[in-house]
Structure 1
Amino acid sequence: MRNQRTMTAIVTMSLALVLALAGCSSEPAEPQTPQFKTKLATDEIRNSAFKAEFPLHYETYERNNESEIMTEYGGSVPYNKHDNVNPLPEGYKHAQPYLKNLWLGYPFSYEYRAARGHTHAMKDILNIDRLNRYGEKAGLPATCWNCKTAKMNVWLKAEGDGFWAKDFNQFRDQVDLADDTIGCANCHDPSNMELRLYSVPLQDYLKASGKDFKTLPRNDQRALVCGQCHVEYYFQDKSFGPAKKPVFPWTEGMDPEQVYTYYKTKGDTTIPGFEGNFVDWVHPVSQTPMLKAQHPEYETWQNGIHGAAGVTCADCHMSYTRLDGKKKMSNHHWTSPLKDPELRACRQCHTDKSPDYLRERVLFTQDKVWEQLLIAQEISVKAHEAIRLAAEFAGDKPANYDQLMIDAREMCRKGQFFWDLISAENSVGFHNPTKALNTLAQSQRYSQQAVDIAVEAAAFTTGQALAGDIKKIVPPIMKHSRELQMDPAHLASHPWFKYLPLLPKAEKVWDENRRLVPAAASN
């Protein structure tokens, strides 16, 4: 009897152990999200309105005002991203010297600085030289407001799809620099703090894909609210819908080849050899129809090692914290986990690794990607120069000269776009090392093909002119701005500047959101 009771106890304990182990091996339930009922209206967009309701969250949000903390490859100091000569805050050692060359003829060539925290977004876009402050019109559409403010909800309600093609400067004096910058209402419904999308292009993509944001898994929602802006996008040509409306080029897929293929059929251009392609601008030196990549963090992350494992943007960039010693909350200081000496965000999962080890692994990846990024950049410059020489070649041309020039420009366009996708992505490859290195390898291959084809188009007469150090053949452009382009002496200071028009002298009309010159009287 005693032995029978013992056996029964053993069986019972074994069964309990099996059940416990089965519970450990099952998929973990999604965390329960906190429920809120605020005193705020659903259409509240002012950041300051959230402070009384969520003082601890707001305290971390205000840390985005920091602008002097650097990591090895980035940080929050707004240095010129082409200047690797001068020290911070003007330049930094990890800069790409050919940015102004590669974007010549496009507003990015006037000014491109490292991003500061999200709270600076409104102030920074109003001061950037890409938006013309020397005239009534900015030269870029109102679409440029899309990722800078939740006030998009107000403007779109009033203007509809006609908003996108209006001029950016038309709305300069309608914003508050602090209360309208990127903040709470960009990601949350103010009445209950549920995650929501304010971004029309992402709403459009999900609808076309048959997806409903509200029914997606919580982790997908957490990633997509960041993916509203941290993506590649373009301003739609009028033949395809509302002019200048932002669109995500994802219907073919999110990898570089798929995005490039998408752009080949989504434009109004009539340039021979590129008919029907989408084109951001034509490079004045090589006359190549170009694409300008934005910042494809979402596309890069989603099939990288962390994205594939279900680790979202918020897990690393908004890691949990306890400010009052009790409540666990997401840190709303959206920044690099490397800024924390203890790398606590990384060590939520990598519990067996030291901060020094983890930081070393990140830098190992970034060092390798940066090395290839600089190589890809230089070959892109050589491609433009090779095409320029071929276009100006006055000797006997091959019978297929015109097709060779089209092919060279196609490879130049593709090579630079692939370089730009990694250059503009804000992790120096860490979000997806395999994709980053593969994309840069492809960039180098396409750009070198552009050089080879252009040399053939010039009857192989330009090879010697292109041999050697590209920095001696085509010097990096260190200074260029809208104001400088008004000066003939400046346009004589670099061989590529002769392909730019002299801008008329003009005084500054706008200082941030303030008008300096009275508006011209309407007739």
Structure 2
Amino acid sequence: MRRIKDIVAEKPWVGWAIFFATLIIVFFVGLFGSSIIERRTEATLRFQPVEEIAEWEPRNEVWGENFPRQHQTYIQTKDTTFRSKYLGTALIDMLDREPDMVILWAGYAFSRDYNQARGHYYAVKDIRNTLRTGVKQPATCWTCKSTDVPRLMNEIGVANFYKKGWLDLGDQVVNHIGCQDCHDPKTMDLRITRPAFVEAFKRQGKDITKATHQEMRTYVCAQCHVEYYFAGEEKYLTFPWDNGFSVEDIEEYYDNIDFVDFVHALSKTPMIKAQHPDFELSKMGIHSQRGVACADCHMPYMSEGSVKFTDHHIQSPLNNMSRSCQVCHRESELDLTKNV
């Protein structure tokens, strides 16, 4: 075999070709190495706090100083353009859409006003604007609308919070749902900030502190997206799960304590009006039984550079199927949409 030296002596252009090829290889190896170092640096610095967060800090923008990616995606819950078979994110007058509900809820505040819920960003604004608050309501109604609620509960006590009237605390509930509702400001671990959830689990003999991280990715949602009622004159927020999570279990619970939400104004029939039993319904489905969390579909992971984080644009999986449904399901978006 001829030596490279001899080939170059005979054909000088071969030497130049080898030289430039070596330069190109070294350049790309260096670029690759630089990218690895840069991304490792990103991963190291992603949790470096810019500003210390107080224990009950309700302002999402303060948390956003330390976690801009999460905050920027959360702000997207302002979007009201998505539409689907299941309505979407727009503000829709449901009594105008389904006028029979006015009769079905006769004598109940929902017969006055009931709108399709918008994103978490509008939680405080939309409940302030509802006509349902035109009748006397307890402060309990604020419980799942604002990051100010855990702060107020910590300041005046849980029972005292519930005993207050809607108007008593209205000037102090100004920050919509956000970071502090679900995260510990020191560790960023998921945590439960609504006592009713912890109390309901305790009555079932369950210790919420033993929950896994994957379970917590559902439980932080379930502290609000549930069926509930206001117990006694104190209007103490209570989840009716003592017998279980099914419709039959909850109905039995209400029957045993002789509870009704309202007496129908026309038929005089005692009525139960289920609120939003999203957690209970999910537990009946195959996804929950397979260990899928709420966040897996409604807040799927995303990446930016080397940083993997949870997308805080909380929304319908149908508006983000490539990172929600199609992580597990290999069908096309069209087929998946038809299936649901």
TM > 0.5 fold call: yes
Structure 2 counterpart of 1:168:
166
* Contact 2:78/2:119 (<8 A) preserved: yes
Structure 2 counterpart of 1:318:
299
What is the CA–CA distance in structure 2 between the aligned matches of 1:61 and 1:164, rounded to whole Å? 28
Secondary structure at the aligned position of 2:88 is classed as: coil
Map Cα deviations across residues 25-71 of structure 1 (whole Å, 9 max, x no partner). xxxxxxxxx99574212222211111110111111000001112211
What is the CA–CA distance in structure 2 between the aligned matches of 1:330 and 1:97, rounded to whole Å? 39
1:81 shift after superposition: 1.2
1:290 shift after superposition: 1.3
Secondary structure at the aligned position of 2:263 is classed as: strand
What is the CA–CA distance in structure 2 between the aligned matches of 1:305 and 1:184, rounded to whole Å? 29
1:286 aligns with 2:267: yes
* Contact 2:221/2:294 (<8 A) preserved: yes
Map Cα deviations across residues 213-249 of structure 1 (whole Å, 9 max, x no partner). 23212211111100001100000024xxxx2011010
What is the CA–CA distance in structure 2 between the aligned matches of 1:190 and 1:333, rounded to whole Å? 20
What is the CA–CA distance in structure 2 between the aligned matches of 1:155 and 1:344, rounded to whole Å? 37
Structure 2 counterpart of 1:60:
73
User: 2:144 aligned to 144, 147, 157, which one?
Assistant: 147
Q: Kindly report which structure 2 residues correspond to 1:74-113, keeping only aligned pairs within 5 A, or say none.
A: 74-84=87-97, 96-113=98-115
Structure 1 counterpart of 2:15:
none
Task: Give the residue type in structure 1 aligned to 2:75.
Answer: E
User: 2:339 aligned to 347, 353, 361, which one?
Assistant: 361
Structure 1 counterpart of 2:117:
115
What is the CA–CA distance in structure 2 between the aligned matches of 1:201 and 1:344, rounded to whole Å? 32
1:346 aligns with 2:337: no
* Contact 1:36/1:192 (<8 A) preserved: no
Secondary structure at the aligned position of 1:83 is classed as: helix
User: 1:327 aligned to 299, 307, 311, which one?
Assistant: 307
Task: Give the residue type in structure 1 aligned to 2:116.
Answer: A
What is the CA–CA distance in structure 1 between the aligned matches of 2:198 and 2:127, rounded to whole Å? 24
* Contact 1:318/1:332 (<8 A) preserved: yes
Structure 1 counterpart of 2:128:
126
User: 1:51 aligned to 64, 76, 86, which one?
Assistant: 64
Higher helix share: 2
Task: Give the residue type in structure 2 aligned to 1:299.
Answer: E
Structure 1 counterpart of 2:8:
none
1:72 aligns with 2:85: yes
* Contact 1:164/1:245 (<8 A) preserved: yes
Structure 2 counterpart of 1:253:
244
User: 1:233 aligned to 228, 233, 236, which one?
Assistant: 228
RMSD in angstroms over aligned alpha carbons?
1.7
What is the CA–CA distance in structure 1 between the aligned matches of 2:173 and 2:139, rounded to whole Å? 13
1:152 shift after superposition: 1.6
User: 1:336 aligned to 316, 329, 333, which one?
Assistant: 316
Secondary structure at the aligned position of 2:270 is classed as: strand
Q: Kindly report which structure 2 residues correspond to 1:432-511, keeping only aligned pairs within 5 A, or say none.
A: none
Structure 1 counterpart of 2:181:
186
What is the CA–CA distance in structure 2 between the aligned matches of 1:174 and 1:122, rounded to whole Å? 11
* Contact 1:231/1:296 (<8 A) preserved: yes
1:146 shift after superposition: 0.4
* Contact 1:36/1:193 (<8 A) preserved: no
Structure 1 counterpart of 2:41:
none
Task: Give the residue type in structure 2 aligned to 1:108.
Answer: F
Map Cα deviations across residues 298-344 of structure 1 (whole Å, 9 max, x no partner). 0000121111111110000001112x33211110011001113x543
Task: Give the residue type in structure 2 aligned to 1:171.
Answer: L
Q: Kindly report which structure 2 residues correspond to 1:193-204, keeping only aligned pairs within 5 A, or say none.
A: 193-204=188-199
Task: Give the residue type in structure 1 aligned to 2:247.
Answer: P
Equivalenced residue count is 293
What is the CA–CA distance in structure 2 between the aligned matches of 1:287 and 1:37, rounded to whole Å? 60
Structure 1 runs not aligned, ≥5 long = 1-33, 85-95, 133-137, 267-276, 363-523
What is the CA–CA distance in structure 1 between the aligned matches of 2:204 and 2:190, rounded to whole Å? 20
What is the CA–CA distance in structure 1 between the aligned matches of 2:224 and 2:239, rounded to whole Å? 10
Structure 2 counterpart of 1:298:
279
Task: Give the residue type in structure 2 aligned to 1:325.
Answer: G
Structure 2 runs not aligned, ≥5 long = 1-44
1:282 shift after superposition: 1.1
Structure 2 counterpart of 1:394:
none
Task: Give the residue type in structure 2 aligned to 1:41.
Answer: A
When residues 288 and 35 of structure 1 are mapped into structure 2, their CA distance, relative to the original with a 3 A threshold, is farther
Task: Give the residue type in structure 2 aligned to 1:175.
Answer: V
When residues 345 and 111 of structure 1 are mapped into structure 2, their CA distance, relative to the original with a 3 A threshold, is same
Task: Give the residue type in structure 2 aligned to 1:206.
Answer: F
* Contact 2:150/2:181 (<8 A) preserved: no
* Contact 2:192/2:198 (<8 A) preserved: yes
State the percentage of identical aligned residues. Answer: 40
Structure 2 counterpart of 1:42:
55
1:193 shift after superposition: 0.7
Secondary structure at the aligned position of 2:132 is classed as: coil
User: 1:213 aligned to 208, 213, 236, which one?
Assistant: 208
